[in-house]
Structure 1
Amino acid sequence: MQRLEFEMFANEILSRLPTKYVARLRCVSKQWRYELSSHLFAIIHYRRMANNPYRKVIMFTNSSIDIHNLIGGKLDISSGKSISFPVDTHLSNLIILASQYGILLMCIQWRPNELILWNPTTNKFSNLCDKKPKKIFDLREDAVGIYMDSSNDLKILLLQRRKDDVIPRVYSRNTREWKTLTFLKGADYASTLYWWSSGTLCNNVLYFPSPHYWTPAKSYTIAFDLESETFYKVSIPQSTDLFGRQNP
C-alpha cells in the first residue's frame, strides 16, 4: 500500500517537475531512485513536459552533442550545454534512425550489430543487438519505427530485408526480448522495393513509404497496425496535373 501511494505521488506530483530536479530527487533514497527511473514515470514525465512552453532541442555535430532550450519557439543559445554519447565512437559515425517520447534510436556506421536505444536526458542506453548474430541491422536494407503499445510498453519494430524475404521483428523494452512477426504474402517485397529507415507514427499505425525500384506507379506504403501487430498495404494515389491528366 505504501509503495502504491508513493508511486501515485511520483506520477502525479513529481512528474510535473523539470528534468534537472527529478535527477536530483533520485538521490533521496533507493525507493525514490527506483520509482523515478521507471519506464512508466519516464513516459508520464515526457508527456507532461511536451506541453511545457520550455522545451529542449538536441543538436549533433561532428565534435559535440549540444542541448538547448526552446522558449516560445526560439532557440536559446546561451542555455546550451554539451553531453556525451554513452558508447565510445566518433560522433560523425552516429545516425539517428527514429525518435519518439524523448528517446532516440541510433545506429553506428561500420558497426552492423549496433542498434542503440538512448535517452539523452538520463544518458541511459540499451544495445538492442547484444546477443544476436552479426549484421542484425543493415542501414541500407532495413527499416525501423518506435511506438508505445496499449500497456505503455515501448517497442521497436525492425523490418529486415534478407535476400528475397522481409522479416519483421519487435523488441519490447519491458521484457528486453525480440519476437518475430508475420509479414505480407504474395509479392516480392524484398527485391523490388526500398524504404527510408524511419516509420511515421499516426493514429496507432506505423507507415513505411515503399517506392518501387523500376516503376514509380507501383509504389505504395506499408502500414503496421500497433494493436493487432499486422501489416497491410496502402496504395499511393497517382498525381494529376492542372488539366486532370494522370502523371505516370
Structure 2
Amino acid sequence: MERLQFEMFANEILSRLPTKCVGRLRCVSKQWRYELSSHLFASIHYRRMANNLNRKVMMLTKTSIDNHNLIGGTLEISSRKIISFPVDTHLSNLIFLVSQYGIILMCIQWRPDELIIWNPTTNQLVNLCDKKPKKIFDLREDAVGIYMDSSNDLKILLLQRRKDDVIPRMYSRKTSEWKTLNFLKGADYGSSLYWWSSGTLCNNVLYFPSPHYWTPAKSYTIAFDVESEIFSKVSIPQHTGVVGRQNRDP
C-alpha cells in the first residue's frame, strides 16, 4: 500500500516538475530513484512536458551538443547549455536517427553496426548492438523508429534490408531483447532502389516513407500499427497536375 501511494504521488505530482528537478529528486533515496526511473513515470512526465509551451531544442555542432530554451516559439541563444556525451568520440561522427519521449536513437560513424539509445537528461546510454544478434544495424540500408506500447514499454522497431528481403526486429527495453516480426509478402520491399526514412509516430502508427530513386510513381509508405504489430503498405498520392481554378465572373 505504501509503495502504491508513493507511485501515485510520483505520477500525479512529481511528474509535473521540470526535468532538472526530477533528476535531483532521484538522489533522495533508492525508492525515489527506482520510481522516478520507471518506464511509466518517464512516459507520464514526457507527455506532461510535451504540453508545456516552454520547450527545449538540442543542437548538434562540430564541437558541442547544445541545449537551448524555446519559449513561445523563440529560441533563446543566451540559455545555451552544453551537454556532455558519454562516449569518447568526435561529435562529427554522431548521427541522430530519430527521437521520441526525450530519448534519442543514434549511431556513430566509423563504428560499424552500432545502434545506440541515449537519454540526454540522465546521460545514460545503451548500445543495442551489444545484444544478440550482433552486427544488426546498417546505416545505408536500414530504418528505425521509436514507440511506447500500451504497457509503457519503450520499443525500437528496426527494418533490416538483407539480400532483397526486409527483416523487421523489435527491441524491448523491459526485456532488453530483440524479437523478429512478420513482414509483408511481395517483391521490391527490400530493393536497394528505395530509400528508407526513419519512422514517424502518429496515432499509434509508425510510418516509414520509402521513395523510389528513379521512379516516383513506385514510391510508397510502410505503416506499422504498434498495438497489433501488423505492417501495411500505404500508397503515396500522385501529382495530378491540377493547380487550381480561378473564379470567373458570371
Q: Structure 1 residue 215: deviation in Å?
A: 2.7
Partner of 1:45: 45
Counting only pairs closer than 5 Å after superposition, residues 27-38 of structure 1 correspond to structure 2 as 27-38=27-38
3-state SS of 2:151 partner: coil
**Code of the aligned partner of 2:3:** R
TM-score (norm 2): 0.92
Q: 1 CA distance for matches of 2:193 and 2:231?
A: 16
Q: 1 CA distance for matches of 2:95 and 2:133?
A: 21
Q: Deviations over 1:6-47 (max 9, x none)?
A: 011011111111112111111211111111111211111111
Partner of 2:71: 71
Q: 1 CA distance for matches of 2:222 and 2:53?
A: 35
Partner of 2:144: 144
**Code of the aligned partner of 1:122:** T
Please say if residues 195 and 212 of structure 2, whose CA atoms lie closer than 8 Å, have aligned partners that are also in contact. Answer: no
Q: Structure 1 residue 112: deviation in Å?
A: 1.9
Q: Deviations over 1:73-106 (max 9, x none)?
A: 1111221110111122110010011111111100
Partner of 2:88: 88
Q: Structure 1 residue 227: deviation in Å?
A: 1.4
Q: Structure 1 residue 195: deviation in Å?
A: 2.8
Please say if residues 192 and 214 of structure 1, whose CA atoms lie closer than 8 Å, have aligned partners that are also in contact. Answer: no
Partner of 2:14: 14
Q: 1 CA distance for matches of 2:65 and 2:46?
A: 20
Please say if residues 171 and 177 of structure 1, whose CA atoms lie closer than 8 Å, have aligned partners that are also in contact. Answer: yes
Q: Structure 1 residue 239: deviation in Å?
A: 0.6
Q: 2 CA distance for matches of 1:85 and 1:197?
A: 25
3-state SS of 1:190 partner: coil
Q: 1:243 to 1:69 in 2, by over 3 A?
A: closer
Partner of 1:204: 204
How many residues align structurally? 244
Q: 1 CA distance for matches of 2:101 and 2:162?
A: 30
Please say if residues 164 and 188 of structure 1, whose CA atoms lie closer than 8 Å, have aligned partners that are also in contact. Answer: yes
Q: 2 CA distance for matches of 1:52 and 1:242?
A: 40
Q: Structure 1 residue 188: deviation in Å?
A: 2.7
3-state SS of 2:190 partner: helix
Please say if residues 192 and 212 of structure 1, whose CA atoms lie closer than 8 Å, have aligned partners that are also in contact. Answer: no
TM-score (norm 1): 0.93
- RMSD of aligned residue pairs (Cα, Å): 1.6
Please say if residues 112 and 134 of structure 1, whose CA atoms lie closer than 8 Å, have aligned partners that are also in contact. Answer: no
Could you tell which deviates more after superposition, 21-30 or 162-171?
21-30
Q: Deviations over 1:41-86 (max 9, x none)?
A: 1111111111122211111001000111111111112211101111
Partner of 1:4: 4
Partner of 1:102: 102
